[in-house]
Amino acid sequence: MTILQLAQENGVEMEGACEGNMACSTCHVIVEKRFFPKLPTASEYEEDMLDLASGLRATSRLGCQIVLEKELDGMRLTLPKESRNMLGL
Ligand code: FES
């Protein structure tokens, strides 16, 4: 399960317009600093999408690309104030 799926199943306002296909950046999340190094390195394509996201931070990731793992237990995420839908929807 990804952060996007978890958010959507629990009523958290995260659009996920492209349904996890790294084409919209509406699942942009800011990861708590101490957990950021525990995440797998973002792919070049994810980095490219993040460059287009609104409110980008050093610990930004796409929620659709973060798979829940035991070592992420307790991780806090912040949603940016706004999101930018690169699909134009
Ligand atoms: S859901 Fe579109 S980039 Fe993650």
Question: Domain segments of the chain: what residues?
Answer: 3-78
Q: What is the pTM of this model?
A: 0.91
Helix (H) or strand (E) holding 29: strand 28-31
Angstrom distances, CA of residue 48 to CA of 8, 34, 42, 53, 81? 24, 23, 10, 9, 20
Task: Return the CATH number of the domain spanning residue range 3-78.
Answer: 3.10.20.30
3-state helix vs strand vs coil in the chain, percent to 5: 25, 10, 60
Q: How confident is the model at residue 86 (pLDDT cuts 50, 70, 90)?
A: low
Q: How confident is the model at residue 88 (pLDDT cuts 50, 70, 90)?
A: low
Provide, rounded to the nearest whole percent, the portion of the chain with pLDDT above 90. Answer: 87
- Mean pLDDT of the residues in the chain: 93
Ligand 1: which atom is nearest the Cα of residue 63?
4
For the Cβ of 29 lying below 6 angstroms from any atom of ligand 1, the answer is no
Distance 71 CA to ligand 1 centre (A): 23
Q: How confident is the model at residue 85 (pLDDT cuts 50, 70, 90)?
A: confident
